[in-house]
Amino acid sequence: MPITAIVLAAGEGTRMKSRHPKVMHKLLDRPLVGWAVRSAQDAGADRTIVVVGSGADEVRAYLGTLDGVESVEQTRRLGTGHALKTALEATDVSEGTVVVLYGDSPLLRGETVRALVDRVENGGEAACVLTMEPPDPTGYGRVDFDDDGQVRAIIEHKDCTEEQRGRLRECNSGVYAFDARELRRHIGEIGNDNVQGEYYLTDMVEILRRTGLAVAAVHCDDYSELLGVNSRVQLAQATKVMQHRINEAHMEAGVTMVDPDSVWIGPDVTIGQDTVIWPGCYLLGHTTVGAECTVGPDSRLVDATVGDNVLLDETIVVSSTVDDDVHCGPRAYLRGGAHFMRGSKAGTHVEIKGSTVGEGSKVPHLSYIGDATLGKGVNVGGGSITCNYDGKHKSRTEIGDHVFIGSDTMMVAPVTIGEGALIGASSCITKDVPAGALALERSRQYISEGWATEYFKKLEEED
């Protein structure tokens, strides 16, 4: 039977004090609503529908980057029951199981959602409530069970008697799974006879029980999965939970972290065995790091592909590739599709943009290489630059195998330096250099003996 996930994400989130909708604030490198969508997909949802409202255009723009996600707009925000009804009225969902999630609850695991779905599919109940027992139940609706262990009712905290508050410790998480047919049949029975004039999804439990249908509960052992985000303080708390969860999974898979509390890894990152991550590192986006690497301290990798046995010391790698046995840093910056091939090196204060550095080639220090191709065994002296931009166009520099570039060399693109050529230090290369040639460009040095001595003596006399 099909599984449909409906993610409620229409709230404004006023406590965030932001111009952006709450669900678009990021936990690590993914908006909150993206985490909810991933939970649904991990649970096996065939269809994911996100109910948008506040900041609808911004949320829709993000959802458009995700595969298989639809959106429905709740123009009037009249409660969770109204949001779910809006989604059902705008779609043809009528079979299988409907699971209700929240765009501001990023920590819920896919397997937890799946357990909820399985209970509805296999247990014969019309609905299932995900329950929890938080350390402090204040403010949560309490779940009242009958003698058969079925959910009799959900009693809001403010409506509980003192006896109920002491006796009923199981709380409602707000996450549900419903038999789609029964949900569609009864969703219109939710009323808004309350002080807020809103339609609450919790009323569905009483409605289903009143018609003779059973409602089950699945207990979530890890209370932290159900933490919601309503403020920036809570966002930081949720991010810390996810940091520990992700880091522990990598360490259990064979990755060493010297100080896990100072390492931040995104959910789509993969790391090989026996790699060591030093403090102050960020691995985000679709980053892949191989085995036996050393990353950090203080390195940042975003959408990076890194091979085996690589050293990245105080190195930033953005949308670039580093092959096996490469050493980078300290304080190297690789960006814009840079590609370091096996055994190459980027040294201290080196920036590489949109360039390929061939096998065994070295850019040791204080250099900028942009829009260039370096062959094998090239050595670039310190302070050298490819001048790739003329104010309007970017041009390429081609450097052959085993070229030696002297320190403080300017290569004004477009220019080609042939295999085995040698460029003298402090040259400005504006023309192609043939293979095996020496290129030297510098003005003649002028010396006037004793000039400086006389100059400083004159200054002293003037004082």
Residue ranges at the known binding site for acetyl-CoA: 388-389, 407, 425, 442
The token pair at 200 is 């609450």
Strand partners of residue 394: 389
Helix, strand or coil, per DSSP, at residue 349: coil
Where are any strands of DSSP class E within 75-204?
97-102, 127-132, 142-145, 151-155, 171-179
The token pair at 414 is 């477009």
Helix, strand or coil, per DSSP, at residue 93: coil
CA atoms of 345 and 402, how far apart (whole Å): 14
Q: Are 175 and 102 in contact (CB under 8 A)?
A: yes
| Dihedral in degrees, nearest 10, Cα atoms 270, 271, 277, 280 | -10
Q: Please list the active-site residues.
A: 365
Which residue has 């940042």 as its token pair?
300
The residue length of the chain stands at 463
| Dihedral in degrees, nearest 10, Cα atoms 152, 78, 24, 61 | 120
Q: Are 312 and 301 in contact (CB under 8 A)?
A: yes
Classify residue 268 as exposed, middle or buried by CB count within 10 Å of its CB (0-12, 13-18, 19+): middle
330: which DSSP letter?
S
Where are any strands of DSSP class E within 20-170?
26-27, 30-31, 47-52, 69-73, 97-102, 127-132, 142-145, 151-155
Please report, in range form, the residues annotated as the binding site.
8-11, 22, 74, 79-80, 102-104, 141, 156, 172, 230, 335, 353, 368, 379, 388-389, 407, 425, 442
Please report, in range form, the residues annotated as the binding site for UDP-N-acetyl-alpha-D-glucosamine.
8-11, 22, 74, 79-80, 102-104, 141, 156, 172, 230, 335, 353, 368, 379
| 260 cis-preceded (ω within 30 degrees of 0) | no
With vertex at residue 218, the alpha carbon angle to CA 252 and CA 23, rounded to the nearest 5 degrees, is 70
Strand partners of residue 117: none
